Amino acid sequence: SEPWVKMVTAQTPTNIAVIKYWGKRDETLILPVNDSISITLDPAHLCTTTTVAVSPSFVQDRMWLNGKEISLSGGRYQNCLREIRARACDIEDKERGIKISKKDWEKLHVHIASYNNFPTAAGLASSAAGFACLVFALAKLMNAKEDNSELSAIARQGSGSACRSLFGGFVKWNMGKVEDGSDSLAIQVVDEKHWHDLVIIIAVVSSREKETSSTTGMHETVETSLLLQHRAKEIVPKRIVQMEMSIKNRDFASFAHLTCADSNQFHAVCLDTCPPIFYMNDTSHRIISCVEKWNRSEGTPQVAYTFDAGPNAVLIAHNRKAAAQLLQKLLFYFPPNSDTQLNSYVLGDKSILK
């Protein structure tokens, strides 16, 4: 008879940090030097869709990313696969006569097909959605019983920021204390309905790939920046408390102040790295000035900005009216050309099974 194939498809949105993760205290387990908080985007726009399949006819684990086969030999993929396999449980599909025991999972191989619905080169939250989706889909395929926080600690070993994509709304990654990393995981602060009138606009300033990867950049910052030590010990712990409070109270003025300040401090520690790392460019700086000037003239902030390891601006508007005004300004001062484009998003839900 034909060998059977069992498949699961999942979809996971990306996330954008408003209190940044930058720097690891353990590079293998991916344990951060401080807590971070992020917003999960709407899966309709920036997300990864991953199908995982298992069959007795597969002779090795294989993966395709956007239709092209990639190697799974890297430590990050291997860690995720090993951790999920260790948690696999029995499954039985009576209709199709498929029975897989806990023991069988050690010998069975998987095929993984993953698609990003956004250009991978744009440098937008590249690996976060990918590893979160991979771990979530494998866990469902293998009938692992762990909840999303426990799965987040596995996704974290693929890419740190991935752990925050297991939940929707606002999400906190607790740095954790224990050496094995089991308490370095994500929890939901509030769900996507809590502050649904926020509008997120992404201004793609350059779709070129970044020059310094986050892995290399973080390593060099930890090795050389004294400012990072101060940030991680003295600044972020206080900001995390304040940020959680402004999110719970929907206090946009405080939220915007903290978000912009933390983005600027992240880029300051990059500048404090030896040799210095520059992620923002002239256009990024002009966008910051434009938003700062507008917020000041309004008396109360209308828009927050944040930039990751690249020049693209993530702008968070207080409501639809502020978003419309922001788009007008951006289109006037930064008319889209071959390299710039504008997109808007709303807060998103957690990973879903398709």
Residues 198-237 that bind ligand PMV (CB under 6 A): 214-215
Does the footprint of ligand PMV cover residue 174 (CB under 6 A)? no
Helix/strand/coil percent split, the chain, to 5: 40, 25, 40
Nearer to ligand PMV, 76 or 140 (CB): 76
Segment near ligand PMV (CB under 6 A), from 16-24, 65-73, 144-152, 321-329? 16-24
Does the footprint of ligand PMV cover residue 134 (CB under 6 A)? no
Q: How far is the CB of 46 from ligand PMV (least distance, A)?
A: 13
Does the footprint of ligand PMV cover residue 161 (CB under 6 A)? yes
Nearer to ligand PMV, 192 or 308 (CB): 308
Contacts of 108 (CB under 8 A, 6+ apart): 54, 55, 56, 58, 100
E strand segments, the chain: 6-13, 15-19, 24-26, 31-32, 36-40, 47-55, 62-65, 68-70, 91-93, 98-100, 109-116, 170-173, 186-190, 199-204, 303-306, 313-317, 341-345, 352-353
Nearer to ligand PMV, 157 or 159 (CB): 159
Among 13, 23, 123, 160, binds ligand PMV (CB under 6 A): 160
User: In 170-235, where does DSSP find H-type helix?
Assistant: 214-224, 226-230
Among 12, 13, 14, 17, binds ligand PMV (CB under 6 A): 17
Backbone dihedral region of 143: left (phi > 0), alpha (psi from -120 to 50 degrees) or beta?
A: left
Does the footprint of ligand PMV cover residue 20 (CB under 6 A)? yes
Does the footprint of ligand PMV cover residue 36 (CB under 6 A)? yes
Tell me the C-alpha to C-alpha distance, in Å, between residue 82 and each of 22, 50, 72. 26, 18, 12
Residues 89-128 that bind ligand PMV (CB under 6 A): 127
Nearer to ligand PMV, 127 or 302 (CB): 127
Does the footprint of ligand PMV cover residue 169 (CB under 6 A)? no
Q: How far is the CB of 301 from ligand PMV (least distance, A)?
A: 22
Segment near ligand PMV (CB under 6 A), from 20-28, 229-237, 255-263, 315-323? 20-28
Q: In the chain, what is the straight-line distance between the N-terminal and C-terminal CA atoms, in Å?
A: 28
Tell me the C-alpha to C-alpha distance, in Å, between residue 147 and each of 87, 139, 155. 12, 10, 12
- Determine the size of the site formed for ligand PMV (CB under 6 A): 13
Nearer to ligand PMV, 302 or 351 (CB): 351
Does the footprint of ligand PMV cover residue 11 (CB under 6 A)? no
Nearer to ligand PMV, 100 or 162 (CB): 162
Among 203, 222, 232, 309, binds ligand PMV (CB under 6 A): 309
Least Cα distance to 49 among 63, 66, 69 occurs for: 66
Specify whether the CB–CB gap between 155 and 3 falls below 8 A: no
What CA–CA distance (Å, rounded) separates 325 from 319?
10
Residues near ligand PMV (CB under 6 A):
17, 20-22, 36, 127, 159-161, 214-215, 308-309
